[in-house]
Amino acid sequence: MSSRRAIAYRWRRIWAVLVKEAHQLRRDPLTFGMVVGLPLVQLILFGFAINNDPRHLRAAIELNDRSPITRTVENSLRASSYFDLVPVDRPGEGEAMLRRGSVQFLIVIPVNFTRDLVRGERPQLLVLADATDPAATGNATAAVEQAVLSGLRHDLIGPLASRAPQPSPVDVVIQRRYNPEGITSHNIVPGLLAVVLSMTMVMMTSIAVARERERGTMENLLAMPLRPMEVMAGKILPYVLIGAAQTIIIVVLSGLIFAVPFAGAPWLLALATLVFITVSLLLGFTLSTFAKTQMQAMQMSFFYILPSILLSGFAFPYAGMPRWAQWLGEVLPVTHFLRVVRGVMLKGWQAGEAMPQLFYLAILGGIFAVIAIRRYGDTLE
């Protein structure tokens, strides 16, 4: 009996500790939300938002020969699930769109395409693909020739049947721009700059105010004749130097170790990096004003970092995500900085091409600054 009683008492003590932990977890909704919400977020993102075979990619089409046959080619491409065609009329317009990232493909039907096809001269059809993300365009590139052959099969009949040699009556020329060899590291390594800065800047700054609370030094800050703007500037400026050092290390090593090209202007990348670091630090400071402990601040940061990696186009093709996931990705600062980094390093972007992304980042920075100042002002009160 004594042994049974001892075992019963032991289980009662264990049960008491279990109940205590349950009450503690209930009083910490952020931790409970992370335990329950994080698997749901991962399930939804990995199940719905990730697609390594993107469809409905935007493709500019330049028709320099208008005939029933070229219209058949255009309609066949349009009917393919891989392409959403965007007609262009002016020479050079399609290449500019490809360079900006507005389209993933440029399909050029040359002058005298129909005449050369009827003569059996196997005319060329030029396809320019944005290869900065090889996974996003690989399958679609292979689908171009299939779509063209499928369309021409209906036109090359009767007297023209002899003009349908095998393997193809048309020479489909594929040019992969900005990453001709399709080297994965040329896509991933520049993206690492955006992800590393996002992780470190947001996480380090998010614990800034929470650390003051935990260490009991918040009263010292409150006693100082400092405005919220001055406290915020003093908190984030040291991390700007850390972010600059990280940027230099990543860019230099990407060239030395992985031979990643740098086609653009260094000053433009430096400007974009400074803007992004500032936005990330302001976001981290904003999160810190909502957290009571450093653990809560880190948990909030993690809820931001995970979608940033999955929805920005860093780990998986952005074009392969459903529309709702792309909308969420557009809200994230890292998505826009990632485009600038790849644009400057791989495409040689100029200032005019990067400004729309930098303008959006500046707007986000202003929003985060206003929220952080107001939240910290409430803390002072």
Least confident of 122-126, 255-259, 292-296: 292-296
pLDDT of residue 380: 52
Taking 80 as the threshold, does the pLDDT of residue 122 lie above it?
A: yes
pLDDT of residue 377: 64
- Give the Å distances, CA to CA, from 136 to 37, 58, 115: 29, 11, 34
pLDDT (mean) for 40-57: 78
Residues 245, 195: Cα–Cα separation, whole Å: 15
- 359 versus 4: the higher-pLDDT residue is 359
pLDDT of residue 139: 80
Structural Rg of the chain based on CA atoms:
28
Q: What does the DSSP assignment read for 306-332?
A: HHHHHHSSSSS-GGGS-HHHHHHHHHS
Q: What does the DSSP assignment read for 16-64?
A: HHHHHHHHHHHT-HHHHHHHHHHHHHHHHIIIII--SS--SEEEEEEES
pLDDT of residue 30: 66
pLDDT (mean) for 230-237: 79
Residues 309, 331: Cα–Cα separation, whole Å: 13
pLDDT of residue 218: 65
Digit-coded pLDDT (tens) for 92-101: 899 999 999 9
Least confident of 23-37, 112-126, 328-342, 361-375: 23-37
Digit-coded pLDDT (tens) for 311-333: 898 888 888 888 888 999 999 99
Please list the residue range(s) of the chain that carry CATH number 3.40.1710.10.
Answer: 57-177
Q: What is the largest CA-CA distance in the chain?
A: 103
Q: Residue 222: which pLDDT band, with cuts at 50, 70 and 90? A: low
pTM passes above 0.75: yes
Taking 90 as the threshold, does the pLDDT of residue 48 lie above it?
A: no
pLDDT of residue 156: 57
- Select from 3.30.70.20, 3.40.228.10, 3.40.50.10540, 3.40.1710.10 the CATH code of 57-177: 3.40.1710.10
Digit-coded pLDDT (tens) for 151-171: 777 665 555 555 554 567 788
Q: Residue 346: which pLDDT band, with cuts at 50, 70 and 90? A: very high
pLDDT (mean) for 141-156: 76
- 191 versus 1: the higher-pLDDT residue is 191
pLDDT of residue 272: 97
Say if residues 202 and 304 touch (Cβ distance below 8 Å). yes
Residues 4, 330: Cα–Cα separation, whole Å: 62
Mean residue pLDDT across the chain: 84
- Give the Å distances, CA to CA, from 223 to 37, 227, 313: 39, 11, 45
pLDDT of residue 307: 86
Residues 53, 50: Cα–Cα separation, whole Å: 9
pLDDT of residue 267: 96
Q: Residue 86: which pLDDT band, with cuts at 50, 70 and 90? A: very high
Residues 65, 11: Cα–Cα separation, whole Å: 84
Taking 90 as the threshold, does the pLDDT of residue 283 lie above it?
A: yes
DSSP code at position 345 = I
pLDDT (mean) for 134-146: 81
pLDDT (mean) for 262-279: 95
Provide the percentage of residues in the chain whose pLDDT is more than 90.
35
